[in-house]
Amino acid sequence: MKPNPISTILIGVILFQLLGTPLIRAEDLKKVTIQTPGGEVSWKEEVSKGKQSFDDRIELLSDKELAGLRRDSERAPVFIAAFVPPEHRTDNLLEDMDAAFTAWLKSGQRDKFNNEDVIRIIGAAFGNYCIQHLGLHWARVTDKQGTAVALVSDHPLTRSFPFTSVQYRIEDNKTDFIYAIYASLEQLMKDAKK
């Protein structure tokens, strides 16, 4: 399954060059569109002048917490198999998770996988994919908004909150976002390294 021809998202990814404040006005955002193998992906960003750090605290996760994330991530193939027939699967984990999430959300079935299960499975699998392909790492981020497990990088300065992203999509009944968020994050990181 490919992303919608145009997926407009305001992603939960923050790079120091592209830092948005919690209260962002729509007119302060610039739409960015890139072409990916899966189609066109768009998002909105705000450029911050001179931002070189976040007002947050980063803590490494314990081995036990990392093991829990690995276990949740390893449940992704079972989740995909439950909602995507073999003939509709691709060799791309993100596209298959998008297809499974869409089918799960539309099915209304919450007996085998409830909302919290899906948040943990998709969030952990997406995070581990980003770690493998983009060089991020898991950490606990605490700021004035609270504390959350996130993907972080110092070069370029990055924060991404996959569990929150999945939770918001469930609440908003939105689909086809997993690949789009990854493509956006990948492009933002490439741009920041220039």
Assess contact for 143 and 55: CB atoms under 8 A: yes
Out of 28-42, 52-66, 98-112, least confident range: 28-42
3-state secondary structure of 163: helix
Could you report the per-residue pLDDT of 72-85, keeping only the tens digit for each?
A: 999 999 999 999 99
Of 47-56, 90-99, 142-151, least confident by mean pLDDT is: 47-56
Residue 41's nearest CA partner among 12, 3, 1 is 3
| Confidence category of residue 45, pLDDT binned at 50, 70, 90 | low
d(CA 125, CA 123): 6
Quickly state the pLDDT bin for 26 (edges 50, 70, 90).
Answer: low
pLDDT tens per residue, range 116-160: 999 999 999 999 999 999 999 999 999 888 999 999 988 888 888
Tell me yes or no: is domain 6-192 CATH 3.40.1350.10: no
What is the pLDDT confidence band of residue 182, given thresholds at 50, 70 and 90? very high
